[in-house]
Chains A and B, each alone.
Chain A
Amino acid sequence: GESVGLHLPTLSVQEGDNSIINCAYSNSASDYFIWYKQESGKGPQFIIDIRSNMDKRQGQRVTVLLNKTVKHLSLQIAATQPGDSAVYFCAEGGGSQGNLIFGKGTKLSVKP
């Protein structure tokens, strides 16, 4: 069946360091991937997306890498700040159902 999972449930980093959050997906038909950030008491907030015809996409301080061979997605955050502390979800879209499915999430904690 379709599933999206994360390798690490929690990640603790020092302020100023780079963070890498990983995600595995199992539906090879998915062709759209998104990273969301969710702070306590709020809805998920879009960070960056990537389509399956790309391997890498950069935003402001964030980079998403897609490896279709091993069905792996990662989010890199440069110079992590305390405001980056949140739960991060990857989601896959398209596929046979044409829906948007979320993974379990990784909690990022930034130590000052």
Chain B
Amino acid sequence: EAGVAQSPRYKIIEKRQSVAFWCNPISGHATLYWYQQILGQGPKLLIQFQNNGVVDDSQLPKDRFSAERLKGVDSTLKIQPAKLEDSAVYLCASSAGSQGRTEAFFGQGTRLTVV
């Protein structure tokens, strides 16, 4: 079974530029998560999708971050404009179940550096 795929693996941008991350979840997984992991901290949930609907985006900085899940499969996370404090690893995860009650499988993450 193929795992969660993310791209790119690394990205360096200047502040105020925009950036987009892509995630392909495990086939058939209804739930998709985007997490932000700052160095030395645990993953922080940004947004959770159930199929193509948003379950929780309470921690998403909506003035600069946006996310969509196309046809309930792939997802993109965008930051525009980026700030220095957005430097982090962005992790995508998917799970077969819903409501945060089943194992989530993680991708390798995208390491973003904002300079």
| Residues of A in contact with B (beta carbons under 8 Å apart) | 4, 31-32, 34, 36, 41-46, 49, 51, 89, 92-95, 97-105
Asked whether B103 is an interface residue with its Cβ less than 8 Å from the other chain, the reply is: yes
With beta carbons under 8 angstroms apart, the residue of A31, A41, A104 that contacts B41 is A104
B48 touching A44 by the CB < 8 A rule?
Answer: no
Q: B108: nearest residue on chain A (CB-CB)?
A: A43
Report yes or no: A34 in contact with B103, Cβ–Cβ below 8 A.
yes
Q: Complex: how many Å from CA A99 to CA B43?
A: 13
Question: Does B91 sit within 8 A of A, measured CB to CB?
Answer: yes
CA distance A34 to B93 in the complex (A): 14
Does more than half of chain B's interface fall in helix, strand or loop, or is it mixed?
A: loop
Q: How far is the CB of A23 from chain B (nearest CB, A)?
A: 11
B100 and A94 form a contact (CB under 8 A): yes
B105 touches A99 (CB 8 A): no
- Check B91–A99 contact: CB distance below 8 A: no
Contact of A98 among B44, B55, B105, B106 (CB under 8 A): B55
Whether A100 and B100, one on each chain, are in contact in the complex, defined by CB atoms closer than 8 angstroms, is: yes
A sample of 28 cross-chain residue pairs with beta-carbon separation below 8 angstroms, ordered by A number, consists of A32-B100, A32-B102, A42-B109, A43-B108, A44-B93, A44-B106, A46-B105, A93-B99, A93-B102, A94-B99, A97-B56, A97-B58, A98-B56, A98-B99, A99-B45, A99-B48, A99-B55, A100-B33, A100-B45, A100-B104, A101-B45, A101-B100, A102-B35, A102-B42, A102-B44, A102-B45, A103-B42, A104-B41
A94 to B91, CA, bound (A): 20
Complex CA gap A102/B48 in Å reads 14
Using known A-B contacts A98-B56, A99-B48, A99-B55, determine if residue A31 contacts B101 with beta carbons closer than 8 Å. Answer: yes
Q: In whole angstroms, how far apart are the Cα atoms of A29 and B41 in the complex? A: 24
Select one of A41, A42, A97, A102 contacting B43, CB under 8 A.
A102
Asked whether any CB of chain A lies closer than 8 Å to the CB of B66, the reply is: no
In angstroms, Cα B39 to Cα A105, docked, is 11
In the docked arrangement, what's the CA distance between A22 and B41, Å? Answer: 16
Does B107 belong to the interface (CB within 8 Å)? yes
| Cα-based distance from A104 to B42 in the complex (angstroms) | 4
